[in-house]
Amino acid sequence: MLPWALLPSLETALANATGHTATISSSRSLPGGCINEAAKITYAGQDFFVKWNTKPAGSDAFAKEAAGLSLLRNRSPFRIPLVYGHHDDGPVSFLLLEYIEQASPDTDSWQQAGAHLALMHRQQAPVFGLEWSGYIGQLPQNNSFCPQWDIFFREQRILPLAMKALSLQRISKEMMHQIEHLLWKPGQLFPDESPALLHGDLWKGNILFSREKQAVLIDPAVCFGHREMDLAMARLFGGFPPVFFEAYLKSYPLQDGWQQRVDLCNLYPVLVHILLFGHDYAGMLADMLRRLNR
């Protein structure tokens, strides 16, 4: 059920989007993930998707998500939901989007998604980062510009989260030592590549398929980064079939040794999960560190 505090600002955004003054005629709760609540709503005969939160990650969380969706819409071949409005003030914050009816993907849909991701990663920038910093889940994500991915990865992704996890006693001092040893070992962590447009939070729940079998991306944590990050996270929790990766690699092959860097890339999302959801993911991190520090 939509909270009463949400209705005035939401119906104003709906009126602006449709050009009609009306009331919400129906709403149906939808899975909104672990952070937000969500619903399909009908207003003036048109369906919309809205998600809201009484305790957002930050005062500008939905504004940053809207900006990320707009960036992907302008620079990727995926279908990206239209942004109709957002509200980050008051007791309830929300993001109002196009509602896209979902369908089960077939093999061709997954192949198209892999090829689309390869095209998206060919959208590049001069340096790593982004004009704005945002969020991944409820955690701030620092996207300050940096010319080298190894430095960006170490200073703006892994170390801030690892230090916070250590301070909260979510990881041990030994695990912290292993992380530091890995990040400062001789040689490059990643091969040189141009900064690629990343979704940034590419697990199975953030890729949908429309009734027309179009691949749809939602809930981004965008930046220009190393493209192996998206591919590694797609492997972390499963759900992406082999044809997705095959289509990607056929269109845009990765550099040699990428398989050995999957765990390295996934230090970031696993640390995110440790901070958001607790100790349950510490065992996953310990296993990754053992493999990486062999």
Q: Residues with catalytic annotation? A: 201
Sign, CA dihedral 236-37-30-23, equals negative
Q: Which of 214, 270, 265, 204 is nearest to 240 (CA)?
A: 204
- What's the Cα-to-Cα distance from 135 to each of 67, 111, 125, rounded to whole Å? 12, 29, 20
Q: Which of 232, 172, 173, 175 is nearest to 200 (CA)?
A: 232
SS (H, E, C) 36-58: CEEEEEEECCEEEEEEEECCCCC
Residue 54 neighbours by CB under 8 Å, 6+ apart: 3, 91, 92, 93
Phi and psi dihedrals of 133, rounded to 5? -90, 155
Is 222:76 a contact under the CB 8 Å cutoff?
no
